[in-house]
Amino acid sequence: MFSIIQAAGWPIWPLVACSILALALVIERFISLQTAKIAPPKLLEEVFIISRALVPTPEVVAQLERNSALGEVLASGFRALNNNPRCSEDELRSSMEGAGRTVAQRLERYLSALATIASAAPLMGLFGTVVGMIEIFGSQSAAGGATGGNPAQLAHGISVALYNTAFGLIVAIPSLIFWRYFRARVDNYLLTLELASERLSHHLITLRK
């Protein structure tokens, strides 16, 4: 592997750094976007059970908020009702929407960086290709001719051009795939949170009456 990096020349080092960063971002997102941390399947039903007759106490609400991202959104509705039992439906929804925007920003964290790597890696590979082509032309003598070139420099220029092009695609393609995967996953989570908050807001308005 190190021999390949040496053959690719100095333009490959930014691509190596991007590949390491992309791998770290993918691992971090896999850990952070687990269903148990974002939207546990049975959490909403459990919330309906504990709030069937009355609004939970602040201690229970605080525990719910620490449960998951969905718990944080649902807890904001309970907190708004605890702070102001006469709050309007619009105020209740506004409180939950504010919490939802905070959660959405956290779920989308680092996705733009991963998308940037997917877009920039082919261009960085192209830059390495251009550097290799410059070395290829530089290997030829000013007068041209078959015997005037430097074979070692010519071979090195070809290696730089080809390795950088290939490595740029190797970094970009998985980064793009994982970005689209995480983007779809976040969108599904956000839809789940939105539907759950809508159901809870109707429940709290009914409970208040």
In tens, the pLDDT along 49-105 reads 888 878 888 899 999 999 999 999 999 998 888 888 787 888 888 999 999 999 999
At 9-30, the pLDDT tens digits run 787 889 999 999 999 999 999 9
Residue with the larger pLDDT of the pair 160 and 79: 79
Residue with the larger pLDDT of the pair 61 and 136: 61
The CA radius of gyration of the chain, in Å to the nearest whole number, is: 27
Where residue 7 falls among pLDDT bands split at 50, 70, 90? low
- pLDDT for position 143: 44
Among 41-50, 81-90, 151-160, which stretch is predicted with the lowest mean pLDDT?
A: 151-160
**Degrees to nearest 5, angle at CA 53 with 51 and 57:** 50
Tokens of 198: 């809508």
Spatial distance between the Cα atoms of 59 and 67, rounded to a whole number of angstroms: 13
Where residue 142 falls among pLDDT bands split at 50, 70, 90? very low
Instruction: Tell me what percent of the residues of the chain surpass a pLDDT of 70.
Output: 89
- pLDDT for position 148: 52
**Mean of the pLDDT values across residues 112-135?**
90
Tokens of 44: 């909403």
Spatial distance between the Cα atoms of 131 and 124, rounded to a whole number of angstroms: 11
- pLDDT for position 188: 96
Residue with the larger pLDDT of the pair 142 and 167: 167
**Mean of the pLDDT values across residues 112-128?**
93
**Mean of the pLDDT values across residues 202-206?**
83
Whole-Å CA distances, 172 to 10, 45, 102:
19, 42, 30
Question: Taking all residues of the chain, what is their mean pLDDT, rounded to a whole number?
Answer: 86
Q: State the CB neighbour count (10 A cutoff) for residue 115.
A: 17
Residue with the larger pLDDT of the pair 132 and 120: 120
Half-sphere exposure of 46 (CA within 13 A, CB side): 14
